[in-house]
Amino acid sequence: MLAARKTRVLIVDDSAIVRRILSESLAGEPDIEVAGTAPDPYVARDKILALNPDVLTLDIEMPRMDGLTFLKKLMHFHAMPVVVISSLAQPSCRAALEALEYGAVEVLAKPGGPYSVGELRHTLAAKVRAAAAAHIRVAPRVGATQAPPRIVCETALPPEAVIAIGASTGGTEAIAAVLAKLPANCPGIVITQHIPPEFSRAFAARLNDNCAMEVKEAADGDRLRPGLALVAPGDLHMVMRWAAAGYFVNVKTGPRVCYQRPSVDVLFQSVAEAAGANAVGVLLTGMGSDGSQGLLKMLQAGARTIAQNEATCVVFGMPHEAVKLGAAEDVLPLDAIAAAALQACRRRR
């Protein structure tokens, strides 16, 4: 019997120490092989042609040519799965999110700071596997072409309605596409995207700049209201609860669920308990199974449930698991989800 082919990775970083740490982090993975390393994009270009790797890890800040410029050229001439490695400085966070707009699949914080070597090993390997499974689509950068028209909601929606969205690999752009089509008076939205700490703040700020509603990174005790979307902070679970004055969120640490913190399952299960039939659950692109059990809990509580279809997912893993469980009432292409979610809010059980 032939052994399963390993995923071959090329590591691109100007720091020899980082190249070594990343290489050692992947060395023990039975299904992953470090095909080579490169100190800058010029060497990387030659090694991509010579080694034909399956996945590239790419630093943002490098001499001679920065990672973002290289990524644009790479996705134009030789599109392939890319995991961006970035520092936690806010300018780097913004550049990393811009890299996701240009076609990078995943983003990861540089080793050091809050990341132990042990945690990096699991996180990096998981992101490489997700990238290797991704359907690469090179879409025009947001703002490069005319933005899609927003849905205009002329009538008030039920104030108790709430939309819960979960996503992982490919989710930053999928969430942006959904929110861009929602009106300023849309129901309150809670979002869990698998994303490292600090990047979630930059992600929320980018959504806020491009959407009609207000979007912010959630803080403990925030009240959810129509026209506001709250994004779970990286490395913290977010739960929603009901009090006499309305919906509130709590952000907290806790065990990882489906290897994730924040976890979509944690959010969806809390929404099922707090909102029941007043909620709409939306599960978007992502690797793994996080969110499927939570979406089923929402359906059982009377909520409307939607999963993104395979044709428009970067990775169909999470929606597929929900479909297998019977948790998704509707399986829709990405560009149909915003309208369907609004309609579901009007037709809540």
**Cβ neighbours of 204 (radius 10 Å):** 23
Q: How far is it, in rounded angstroms, from Cα 152 to Cα 317?
A: 32
Instruction: Check 92, 200, 290, 320 and give the catalytic one.
Output: 290
How many other CB atoms sit within 10 Å of the CB of residue 147?
A: 11
Beta-carbon count within 10 A of 26 CB: 20
Residue 205's CB is within 10 A of a number of other CB atoms, namely: 18
Query: Does an H or E element contain 9, and which?
Result: strand 7-12
Planar angle of CA 58, 56, 172, nearest 5 degrees:
70
C-alpha span between 157 and 327 (Å, rounded): 25
Residue 135 known to be catalytic: no
> Among candidates 72, 267, 313, 296, which has minimal Cα distance to 171?
313
194 assigned to active site: yes
292 assigned to active site: no
Between CA 79 and CA 200, with CA 147 as vertex, the angle to 5 degrees is: 65
d(CA 72, CA 16): 24
Catalytic: which of 25, 40, 86, 194? Answer: 194
For residue 299, give the 3-state DSSP assignment: helix
C-alpha to C-alpha distances, 108 to 65, 115, 125, 159, 270, nearest whole angstrom: 20, 10, 11, 37, 27
Q: Which long-range contacts (CB under 8 A, 24 or more apart) does 222-225 make?
A: 222/248, 222/249, 223/247, 223/248, 224/162, 224/188, 224/189, 224/190, 224/248, 224/249, 225/188
Residues 168, 263, 289, 292: which is the catalytic one?
168
Find out whether 35 and 27 touch, Cβ atoms under 8 Å.
no
**DSSP 8-state secondary structure symbol assigned to residue 196:** -
Please tell me the total number of residues recorded for the chain in this structure: 349
Active site residues: 168, 194, 290
